[in-house]
């Protein structure tokens, strides 16, 4: 399995990549919407961890474009703005999960497990 992480915070990318690698998931990192769209490989990436507030816009706005390239990709929105409004917006746009910041390694394991085994 391979994941794309799109977050402007270097530390978040490193932490998330480390935890995902421990779960056997290869990662690619991007720090802006433009980098994320460019780095997304529809035939390779099964998961996308997508921040909302990025330097060049709102991460939620690219969910339709990502889903158009691969409708099966699972998108996990990550944000420090962990409110019902943000959750609703994320799910309306097509996100599968919402991961509030700060998050723990256990939360990452739970989300990956839930997405990998939807039953």
**Per-residue pLDDT tens for 41-51?**
999 999 999 99
The mean pLDDT of the chain is: 94
CATH of the domain at 46: 3.40.50.2300
Q: Which residues contact 73 (CB under 8 A, 6 or more apart)?
A: 42, 45, 46, 47, 48, 66, 67
Compute the average pLDDT of residues 73-98.
Answer: 92
Q: Please give the model's pTM, rounded to 2 decimal places.
A: 0.95
3-state secondary structure of 100: strand
Q: What integer is the mean pLDDT of 70-84?
A: 92
Q: Where are the alpha helices (DSSP H) in 1-119?
A: 10-22, 33-39, 63-69, 84-93, 105-116
Number of structural domains (the chain) is 1
pLDDT in tens, 1-34: 999 999 999 999 999 999 999 999 999 999 999 9
Q: How confident is the model at residue 54 (pLDDT cuts 50, 70, 90)?
A: very high
> What is the extent of the structural domain holding 86?
2-116
């Amino acid at each position: 399995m391979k994941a794309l992480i799109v977050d402007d915070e270097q530390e978040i990318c490193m932490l998330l990549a480390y935890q995902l690698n421990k779960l056997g998931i290869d990662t690619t990192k991007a720090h802006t919407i433009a980098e994320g769209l460019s780095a997304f490989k529809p035939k390779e990436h099964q998961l996308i961890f997508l921040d909302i507030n990025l330097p060049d816009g709102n991460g939620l706005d690219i969910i339709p474009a990502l889903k158009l390239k691969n409708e099966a990709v699972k998108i996990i929105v990550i944000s420090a703005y962990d409110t019902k409004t943000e959750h609703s917006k994320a799910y309306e746009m097509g996100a599968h999960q919402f991961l509030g910041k700060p998050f723990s390694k256990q939360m990452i394991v739970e989300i990956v497990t839930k997405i990998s085994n939807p039953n």
